[in-house]
Amino acid sequence: MRNVLRHARLVLVGLILALPSYMRAEVSAEQGKQLFKANCARCHYVTDKRFVGPGLAGVQDRWSDEGNLLAWIRNSSDYLKTGDSYATKLFEEYNGSVMPAFQLSDDEIKSILAYIADPGEEAAPATASTDGAAAAEGGQTGGGDNTLLTYILIGVAVVLLILARSLNSVSKALENVRREKAGEEPIQEESINVVGKTVAWMAKNKRITAVIAIVLVGALSYKGFVALNTIGVYEGYQPKQPIAFSHKLHVGQNKIECQYCHSTVEKSRHANIPSANVCMNCHKAVQEGPQYGKNEITKIYAAVGWNPEKNEYFKDYAKMDKEELASFYGSYLGDEKAAAAVEPFIQSNIEWVQIHKLPDHAYFNHAQHVKVGKVECTTCHGEVGEMEEVYQHSPLTMGWCINCHRETEVQYATNGYYERLHQYYKEHKGEYEMREGQAFTVEKIGGLECSKCHY
């Protein structure tokens, strides 16, 4: 009995001593591997093989300063502003394709670098290009595992504490039975009860106890806070799309307005994704692209039933024989691989992968922001006109919404939507008069009320 008790205590003390090391986010190649898979694998190999971005083997030797490398990985666009010649050259070599920004701590990035330095066996993730979307889907900026472990450990510690306590009283009872039989004095409370002793010590050393408690609670809630803030955050999410549609080419180079394709954005809650018919307004004529030739544009034709040889739609396209169509587009393309890629589009819809998605309990309205609030698309979505492939630029967290509502002024004076409000302010001068220089922010019209954003 006594032994069991001693062991339980030892384990307990061991656990408590072990706790802090779990609460520190440590640099580990194992964690780095997870982070790499979630955030980087869709563009990089850990070997020296080039993918969307450079092969990362030996990358630390290419960067003389680790601080610069960390800064680059966290936000390469910002880093480029420093004018660093190596980075600029690299950026140009990769045709100015941008690496998304990451919300990663130094330790997390160091973990990734540790993994890159020693990736073990599966150095060449050959599947990275095909399951890129899946990898990115899990692509929250992580760190949750550690927290989970911490909580589990604390749970175990509490259980053990309770166990030790009851073991204590059981063993005390047994000891007392023995002493009673032997005619000895029953044992005193303090001599055996660790918990009681601890409590007594705590009562005597209130100040030290308070400090320990604050540090413990602080460390835990910081970890919890960080974890909660990163749950479901998909910043940088960039899934592979079925057609290599480039905003950079269409918006940046050909100056097509966002609203030409996302035509509902000023009228309704959601911005629509254009249908293939909208693409066809131009692609009846534009049959080849600068980068992929006919290959990608033919996917649109296969979806809508366009015959690019006769420049007309097939009649009764839905009823045509799929195999015949496959061989038609195959011979039009004259390339087996491209033909195979086009085949799934025949007689079907283009299934774009959704990138931005708020949880169901949150309400966001585009028209309110774009039309009424006059917020630019780029404020929330980044420089889409420079993106070859769209990725999620902003975190889309509640904190992100709220921060902007605290800082951004409502366009009430110049916007017809607020004419009545403006009128009201004029009429109630004095009572409601705006103080000179005071910002009339979204917060002031109720932009921080829970019910505005939650059902």
Q: Kindly identify the residues of this chain, within the stretch 171-210, that bind ligand HEC according to CB under 6 A.
A: none
Which of 127, 169, 291, 311 is the binder for ligand HEC (CB under 6 A)?
291
User: Do 211 and 321 meet the contact criterion of CB atoms below 8 Å apart?
Assistant: no
In the complex, least distance from residue 284 CB atom to ligand HEC, rounded to whole angstroms: 10
Closest-CA residue to 1 (of 174, 243, 228): 174
In the complex, least distance from residue 26 CB atom to ligand HEC, rounded to whole angstroms: 18
Q: Does 302 contact ligand HEC by CB under 6 A? A: no
Cα–Cα distance measured from residue 69 to residue 81, given in angstroms and rounded to the nearest whole number: 14
Q: Does 37 contact ligand HEC by CB under 6 A? A: no
In the complex, least distance from residue 262 CB atom to ligand HEC, rounded to whole angstroms: 4
Residue nearest to ligand HEC (CB): 289
Q: Which residues of 380-391 are buried (b: 16+ CB within 10 A; e: fewer)?
A: bbbebbebbbbb
Cα–Cα distance measured from residue 53 to residue 66, given in angstroms and rounded to the nearest whole number: 19
In the complex, least distance from residue 195 CB atom to ligand HEC, rounded to whole angstroms: 36
Q: Does 64 contact ligand HEC by CB under 6 A? A: no
From residue 173, alpha-carbon distances to 3, 5, 180, 196 in Å are: 16, 14, 10, 16
Q: Select the span of 167-175, 185-193, 334-342, 391-399 touching ligand HEC (CB under 6 A).
A: 391-399
Q: Which residues of 52-72 are buried (b: 16+ CB within 10 A; e: fewer)?
A: bbbbbbebeeebeeeeebbbb
Q: Select the span of 17-25, 34-42, 183-191, 316-324 touching ligand HEC (CB under 6 A).
A: 34-42
In the complex, least distance from residue 21 CB atom to ligand HEC, rounded to whole angstroms: 25
Q: Select the span of 6-14, 36-44, 203-211, 219-227 touching ligand HEC (CB under 6 A).
A: 36-44
Return the biggest CA–CA distance within the chain: 111
How far is CA 30 from its chain centroid? 20
Which of 11, 379, 422, 425 is the binder for ligand HEC (CB under 6 A)?
379
For 33, other C-beta atoms within 10 Å of its C-beta total 20
- Closer to ligand HEC by CB, 201 or 363: give it: 363
Q: Give the sign of the dihedral formed by CA 215, CA 220, CA 223, CA 225.
A: negative
Phi and psi angles of residue 171, each rounded to the nearest 5 degrees, phi first? -65, -35
Q: Kindly identify the residues of this chain, within the stretch 223-282, that bind ligand HEC according to CB under 6 A.
A: 228, 231-233, 238, 241, 243-245, 247, 249-251, 254, 256, 258, 260-262, 265, 270-271, 273-274, 278-279, 281-282
Cα–Cα distance measured from residue 130 to residue 298, given in angstroms and rounded to the nearest whole number: 21
Which of 34, 39, 150, 193 is the binder for ligand HEC (CB under 6 A)?
39
> Rg of the chain over CA atoms, in angstroms?
31
- Closer to ligand HEC by CB, 328 or 345: give it: 345
- Closer to ligand HEC by CB, 160 or 346: give it: 346
Q: Kindly identify the residues of this chain, within the stretch 392-431, that bind ligand HEC according to CB under 6 A.
A: 396-398, 400-402, 404-405, 408, 410-411
Q: Does 119 contact ligand HEC by CB under 6 A? A: no
Q: Does 114 contact ligand HEC by CB under 6 A? A: no
How many residues contact ligand HEC, by CB under 6 A?
A: 104
Closest-CA residue to 265 (of 397, 365, 412, 385): 365
- Per-residue tokens: 111: 């973990």
